[in-house]
Structure 1
């Protein structure tokens, strides 16, 4: 029994290690790193001087890619050097949008001269960024600075400023979500939208200015609240825990219906592993790294975890739907004899439970830590208990109702719930990767913003969701046609 539990935990921890790994945490010799990255700048200058701006842009993009891998090292050595490089990179991007050879060359040569100065020790080392958490008031000031740069049509500095806001979001999101889930969702959507508007060619300054203005307007009233109630604390757990609960309950109901007792052990291992790792990671972020320093990496973790969970949920939904025929289910059970579920499926059940709980659990713990200084301890504990009780009641009702359902309706309802979560996790995962800057954003104002489905006005997140829905509809239609043809043949 002990070996079995150890095996389960080891597999889940390996999954966790794969999910959270990100090169942005690595640091090396910043001077040497810059010298290597500068080769791409030299190539870009050579191509630009020959009038080949398209290839010069590709060479510069290589520098930009390398920069994202080494910027943490520069940032820790010198905040001034880091900001100067970001500013000069903004000038290069803007010059390429103008498509003027002389301005591109001037911007690239300025960036090269700055890199050489830093690599040769021309910038004295300072304390780097102070990775302290910021208040919501500070966050609003960053937005106002972004608005100022947008009004001046300074694309590079505006992009740098909105990126700073995205990295700082983790420090204040707990304060926001405790007061308004809708404003929290709007904030994350608008942070991505503004970045896309500013990165467009040409930049959409007027629209970006309006979005930033709205963000300041709806966030400012929240900054004035100085204390939270037990119900604020309860709602955080209910909101964040409900999606993970739906995944776990669907898995639990399934293994109970199949009569496979081992499945429960894997699911509980995943749940407990997800909770444990969430708490540990959140505490490390808050007290060792700080939310401000971890902001971008948190979005990457949330994004990749959401995408991986969505893939597994898609498979689970398809498999549940395929078993909705009683004859197919009975045949499957007979084929597996006493083991209704293979070892691979058992591992995937535990891994899916882990990913769902870990994704929601980390944010929940960070939210609670963020609001801890503005709520009485007894109110925080009471709110947590109320939230846990409500989730427990919902879990009991879901399991009770699910087990009472006949076999076919049970599988049909379960497959619909799991598919809904698959669509939502897909939208949430891609949106988080956009927030981290890993995936570009193409704004689509005609697409509505629906939090229930994690639908955002972005083609990159919406198209995969549309493909999932159309694919599911096609499979259901094909299956119905096939069943009707089989029925007609039997007549």
Structure 2
């Protein structure tokens, strides 16, 4: 009876939940996925990737609709901001995205009202002991005491910084910058106590202004990862040329800009964020110290530059990649269909050719519909960090299958191999002895290649816009249509094996790119490590990223290809010797 009673209560609760699907606008909600989509859109807009930015906004819109909030002033503002962001030009999209971000923040504050004054007072009380200890240490002029007190202050700040970051980005940036400058001074060979005193006074002034609410917000300037990269490049060049003061000033500029961009780095590579926070101030302070290894410092800066560059790489695919996959798979199916049509012609059964066309068309349409559905699902259903991981895993699976296709094509890149393959397919069709069999072989030839194509597309579809994805399919279909006409007219004159040789190379290149892009995605989601080679370039279009992990995987691919070529040559030699005898 007790179990029955509990079950009845759970059923009642479930029934009530089903009757109340719409949440109150003031219910506590987690909008982390929405913020991720906005962040992606802003980053892509800054990099000039307009199509990808629009896709991220559409992803935001899909997640937003899933929230099912009651209509309110705040929710209407977000609806309007979404429309403006989607219809904006590439030049104005950045402003509309900022407005969308502010609208979401306003909604979140309305749902979870916070007493900002109380938060500032709590922050002040939490920081007061650490500030007092640091002030006394600076007055004592004892370097060890100052370092110890400064470390205590940093720890206290880290635990209590949240209200500052949320209420005033200007205060947050100023406090972070002054803290970094103090660490720079402490890292110098002979720290100047008067400089430390001045930096401490500036720090306490900013904190006091934040607590009292009198700090004026500065207009946010447009900074990006590219800004950080340029500053690090200038710094490493200055070090290599021996101009250490210029390098220090440039890195100080980096420190001042850092709070405006650090969120993007922290989201995508937490370990890099920690290294930059901890190591750059020390490097600036020690750069002019006697015996400091400036060559090592320059290399370290290049490493930082490379890692930041990896965060903004264009690891997407174009419609040419989409077209290449369908061309490869479509041509194989097309060759089989042409062979079937030729068989019917030679058997004086031209009237039954339409069944081959019907079977092929059915397989083609089903493949296209499934491909478009897959692209839509991958881009709208999966979100956030899990989406990135899924893209990486599926990409690796697609690359492995593509490698298998490449080996198969390599084996068919001789006249004898191709003729044996066609004879086998023809034999299967003829043995059925019916029109239905011909239509079935035609349908299965197309749809089998279509299913294989879907797996390959799963590896690249999430990294390209739906427009480019479909454009690639349309381009491939146009080319296949032209080739089909040519095949039916002059099929006996076409060196099919040459086509396979060229297509094999293209498939291997695409597999190389997919492996690089997929592993890079897994690196950005911290699934696998990132060991940077700072002296190697990033080559987006081929999927080459200068990390040990991606390079090793791509070297394994090249080794596998080399083995496949060697095995084919070895198998070919005995046959040639037999023919000579």
- TM-score normalised over the length of structure 2: 0.41
Larger Rg: 2
- TM-score normalised over the length of structure 1: 0.47
